[in-house]
């Protein structure tokens, strides 16, 4: 049986098909030079394909990702994060929320902008709705425990690599604890003062970005 690996605060079944921004709409953002809105409850492989296609055709080596999401498939979120890291100039904007996999993408940009009431969250993966760091300790299901351990180790390494671009080595510990969720539930909101407290630079997001997200969300309502 296939096991779904997620970076999301909610179960995928409740979100599939509920996206605000389709791949077809995403392609139109090529007209907004360098601006890619990822406005969807769940980031799936189709969304990642659309984002990568837009990135591939941007005329300059700079990009602005506008995030409004609860997270999504681990593979999809890492694909987007990997591509974002390759830009010479990158900005992640979170007007309202970028939970789980959305946070992973946001941390992969060179600059982070957040709305005054915006939130990020922990980014540790989940298997069948359970955090991998807990499943890795399960003794009676060795195959699941082994898979969970692999994802736990891989994500910790990946997040540390993202944070190293923003923080000196001596400040990585508290930031890792915050974004791996060592002391809070996976989906617990992390607001801008907490992000700044671990040393990450955050710029206030302009109101135009919230208006952009509102337009995409409004199409579904």
Q: Which residues of the chain have pLDDT under 70?
A: 1-33, 219-221
Q: Rounded to an integer, what distance in angstroms lies between the CA atom of residue 200 and that of residue 202? A: 6
Sign of the alpha-carbon torsion through 160, 149, 98, 60: positive
User: What pLDDT score does 61 carry?
Assistant: 92
User: What pLDDT score does 13 carry?
Assistant: 27
Q: Given the structure tokens 């700079």, which residue do they identify?
A: 62
> Domains of the chain, with CATH numbers?
5-123+185-218 (3.90.226.10)
User: What pLDDT score does 10 carry?
Assistant: 42
User: What pLDDT score does 217 carry?
Assistant: 84
Count of CA atoms in the C-beta half-sphere (13 A) of 128: 9
- pTM as predicted: 0.88
User: What pLDDT score does 32 carry?
Assistant: 54
> What are 105-123's pLDDT values in tens digits?
999 999 999 999 999 999 9
Q: Chain centroid to CA 102: how far?
A: 2
DSSP state of 176: H
């Amino acid at each position: 049986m296939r096991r779904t690996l997620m970076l999301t605060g909610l179960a995928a079944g409740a979100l599939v098909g509920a996206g605000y921004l389709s791949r077809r709409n995403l392609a139109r953002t090529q007209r907004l030079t360098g601006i890619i809105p990822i406005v969807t409850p769940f980031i799936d492989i189709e969304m990642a394909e659309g984002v990568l296609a837009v990135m591939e055709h941007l005329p300059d080596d700079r990009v602005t990702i506008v995030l409004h999401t609860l997270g999504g498939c681990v593979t999809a979120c890492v694909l987007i994060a990997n591509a974002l890291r390759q830009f010479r100039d990158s900005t992640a904007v979170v007007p309202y929320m970028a939970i789980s996999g959305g946070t992973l993408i946001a941390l992969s940009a060179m600059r982070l902008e957040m709305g005054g009431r915006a939130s990020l969250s922990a980014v540790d993966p989940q298997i069948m709705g359970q955090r991998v760091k807990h499943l890795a300790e399960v003794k009676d299901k060795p195959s699941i425990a082994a898979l969970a351990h692999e994802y736990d180790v891989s994500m910790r390494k990946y997040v540390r690599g993202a944070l190293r671009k923003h923080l000196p080595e001596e400040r990585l510990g508290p930031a890792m604890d915050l974004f791996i969720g060592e002391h809070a539930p996976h989906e617990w909101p992390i607001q801008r003062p907490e992000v700044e407290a671990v040393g990450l630079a955050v710029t206030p997001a302009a109101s135009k970005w919230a208006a952009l997200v509102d337009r995409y969300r409004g199409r579904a309502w």
